């Protein structure tokens, strides 16, 4: 079994491609099953493991497979599942085998591969992805161990370094950008579309600026009202956006919709109703919630998740020492995990040796019982039993040494005494 990670992220692909490769939450279980089937069609021995992580910044397939070209197979799976041209997708993908896949997993969980260095949201996203994979039957010994260790590494990195101490969150970046358009946030009406973790984080940051009003638009009104109540706001249904969008100066959207919720025509009508008063919009969703054409309107300032990513990269030099410390921790834990994998590789050999030894023991034991049944002296029986066991256990190594030649014989001659140096 070989571990692998195949995918793309904010460093290797623009949001326009990431949204094409993104998996909707309701797709993930089905996709995990499809990934396992994809590998099993190539290698019929089965037992392949798979998990898929899909966020606004990355889509990654993690797997443990016996397929000889498993990395290439994983890359083709992603293209095939989303009906994308493989040749166009391939330059944006990273294909990470075994050792590199383990290091990458630990770095992702620790927030070192995030757009916001050291952010903690990714850990919860990984846990959700692993829970889904487990429910879909995608986890086995290898992936289960890999992700359990990644959680431990992430905890160690965050508790022993200052990796997140100087980070600027996407939510804080959104506030900072909005202040370029509106000097006084407390004079603005703010609309949040969605009710997930990212929207909750953004609402927290904007609420601290005491805006004139906060509104949550969500598909289910109950959930929207719960979040709105926390910030002294109100909730509306998504269906009401068409008629009420013009009321808002700042619009932050992050939903799991597979299609845009806000189109060019809707925003054009809103701007006209606002008499061309500026509107600041942030689309944190992947796939995007707001049509890209909206950004061409003169009175609209539209930012994507990638635009905010550029803002949060400021101050990187302040975090380099923490990064180096975190990387050292991760490298140590990678080596530990690779030792575990190596140990797993010899388990079948050990089991075979134990089974063979037990068979030989049973043969000699049965022979001793027959000698005792005939009334032979017990000391003679024990002597025969010990000699018989020794002869049988030594037969294989002696034959191997006789058949070997050259370097192989020299290697066996050095190795065998160590193998048979038992306790005294």
Q: Are 305 and 170 in contact (CB under 8 A)?
A: yes
> Cα separation of 340 and 144, whole Å?
13
125 known member of a binding site? yes
198 is in an annotated binding site: yes
How far apart CA 104 and CA 141 sit, in angstroms, is 19
Task: Judge whether 152 is annotated as a binding position.
Answer: no
Residue 202 labelled as part of a binding site: no
Rounded distance between C-alpha atoms, residue 54 and residue 39, angstroms: 20
**Assigned token pair, 278:** 């500026």
Give all strands (DSSP E) within 167-275, no chain letters. Answer: 189-193, 213-218, 234-237, 250-253
**158: annotated binding-site residue?**
no
Q: Is 56 annotated in the active site?
A: yes
Beta strands in 74-208 (DSSP E): 94-97, 189-193
Question: Who contacts 147 (Cβ-Cβ below 8 Å, separation ≥6)?
Answer: 51, 105, 109, 126, 130
Interior angle at CA 222, CA 220 and CA 226, nearest 5 = 125
Give the DSSP per-residue string, 390-408: HHHHHHHHHHHHHH--HHH
* 8 A C-beta contact, residue 72 and residue 95: yes
Annotated ligand binding at 199? The verdict is: yes
- Catalytic residue (one of 32, 56, 64, 75): 56
Annotation-wise, does 218 bind a ligand? no
270 a known binding residue? no
Find out whether 55 is annotated in a ligand binding site: yes
Check the annotation: does 330 bind a ligand: no
Instruction: Flag whether 331 is marked binding.
Output: no
Is 120 annotated in some ligand binding site? yes
Residue 296 labeled ligand binder: no
For residue 418, say whether it is annotated as part of any ligand binding site: no
Helix, strand, or coil here: 274?
coil
Helix, strand, coil distribution of the chain in percent, nearest 5: 60, 15, 25
**Annotated binding site for NADP(+), which residues?**
194-199
Residues marked as catalytic: 56
**Annotated binding site for substrate, which residues?**
55-58, 114, 119-121, 125
């Amino acid at each position: 079994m070989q571990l692998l990670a195949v995918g793309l992220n904010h460093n290797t692909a623009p949001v326009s491609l990431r949204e094409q490769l993104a998996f909707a939450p309701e797709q993930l279980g089905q996709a995990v099953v499809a990934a396992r089937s994809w590998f099993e069609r190539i290698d019929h021995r089965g037992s392949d493991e798979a998990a898929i992580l899909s966020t606004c910044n990355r889509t990654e397939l993690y797997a443990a497979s016996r397929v000889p070209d498993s990395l290439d197979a994983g890359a083709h799976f992603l293209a095939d599942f989303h009906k994308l041209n493989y040749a166009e997708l391939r330059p944006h993908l990273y294909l990470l085998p075994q050792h590199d896949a383990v290091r990458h997993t630990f770095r992702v969980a620790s927030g070192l591969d995030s757009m916001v260095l050291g952010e903690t949201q990714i850990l919860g996203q990984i846990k959700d992805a692993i829970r889904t994979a487990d429910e879909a039957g995608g986890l086995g010994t290898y992936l289960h161990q890999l992700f359990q260790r990644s959680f431990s590494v992430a905890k160690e990195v965050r508790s022993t370094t200052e990796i997140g101490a100087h980070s600027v969150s996407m939510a804080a970046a959104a506030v900072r950008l909005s202040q370029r358009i509106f000097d006084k946030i407390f004079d603005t009406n703010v609309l949040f579309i969605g009710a997930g973790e990212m929207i909750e984080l953004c609402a927290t940051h904007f609420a601290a600026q005491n805006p004139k009003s906060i509104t949550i638009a969500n598909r289910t009104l109950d959930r929207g009202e719960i979040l709105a109540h926390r910030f002294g706001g109100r909730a509306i249904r998504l269906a009401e956006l068409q008629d009420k969008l013009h009321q808002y100066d700042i619009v932050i959207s992050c939903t799991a919709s597979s299609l845009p919720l806000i189109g060019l025509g809707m925003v054009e009508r809103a701007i006209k109703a606002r008499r061309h008063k500026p509107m600041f919009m942030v689309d944190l969703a992947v796939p995007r919630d707001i049509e890209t054409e909206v950004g061409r309107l003169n009175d609209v300032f539209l930012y994507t998740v990638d635009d905010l990513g550029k803002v949060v990269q400021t101050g990187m030099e302040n975090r380099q020492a923490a990064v180096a410390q975190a990387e050292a921790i991760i490298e140590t834990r990678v080596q530990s995990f690779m030792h575990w994998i190596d140990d797993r590789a010899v388990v079948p050999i050990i089991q075979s040796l134990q089974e063979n030894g037990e068979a030989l023991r049973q043969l000699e034991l049965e022979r001793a019982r027959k000698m005792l049944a005939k009334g032979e002296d017990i000391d003679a029986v024990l002597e025969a039993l010990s000699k018989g066991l020794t002869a049988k256990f030594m037969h294989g190594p002696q034959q191997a040494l006789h058949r070997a030649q050259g370097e192989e014989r020299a290697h066996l001659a050095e190795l065998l005494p160590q193998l048979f140096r038992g306790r005294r």
